[in-house]
Structure 1
Amino acid sequence: MRQDGEERFREFVTSRWQALLRTACLLTGDDDRAEDLLQVALVRVHRRWNRIDDPELYVRRVVINLNNSWWRRRRVQEQLMGVVPDTPGAEPQEALAVRDELWRAVLALPPRMRAVLVLRYFEDLPEAEVARLMGCSLGSVKSQASRGLDRLRGVLGREAREADLARRV
């Protein structure tokens, strides 16, 4: 980068740091992660600085995209504890029973709806890829996924209410 571009970049970062950091904090909910996110975004912007028309807009877009990518990759959030809890975790049999109940409900869905749910949520494919694989529109994938999840919620919710009533009797 040329010297004048380097100087303009420094001035931009100095003048807009607080506002950009505030945006990152609001997106992440965590001050430390927000600062890391903003620093990574500014490194990416620095590489393209001479080709950017609206740096403020560009940095905000990079921050949003980086945060979205982090959010998608996050599977299980680690929870640190000061002491080991006294209560044991769930019984393995309970987890197996829940999994079996879920799969029975999934297998009861129509094949196309089941395929959308499996590809989208179990294989973790993006909606566009599911649409391409199934040879249908993106809107069809979205509606099938929405309807399928509604059906699963209805079936699993009804079974949970019935089991709760049976335990009370």
Structure 2
Amino acid sequence: MAADTALATGKQIIEWLAAAKKTLVTAESCTGGSVAATLTDIPGASAAFYGGYVTYANAAKSRMIDVQPRLIRDFGAVSNQVARAMADGARNTARADYAVAVTGIAGPDGGTEKKPVGLVYVAVSSELATVVIEHRFGDLGREGVRQASVAAALDLVLQVITSDTTNR
């Protein structure tokens, strides 16, 4: 059921962006490209979807989308600061109008008391601002956390693009 909702949200995003002649790029870690896969499941997505970066390793975040290594060192790959840098870096590298980034701990391992399994940061970057939302989904199982993250990412993209008054 969650996949159907994510697909419906993705369809709204693609339709809105195509009508506004805007583009979206993804930067994904814990979702491993699932946000991009959901968007490319939509016929006509190429009118608005630029592409995506799967920056699973910390070095990939730095080399592919210019996340400063000190941010990862100081705050951890799963942090508000790194999610923001991923979104901004992807948008700037791709020269897209919008970027969505996801970084988190899907499990079953990797969680700590401070950063438990199910902790996910979603960020959306535009020329106006970058919005970062922290989610604590809990231990839904690896696939459950990933699906919840995809849905949260697409929901935030839709909120940001439809509230962007520069495109109306």
Q: TM-score range by the shorter chain?
A: under 0.3
More strand by share: 2
Larger radius of gyration: 1
More helix by share: 1
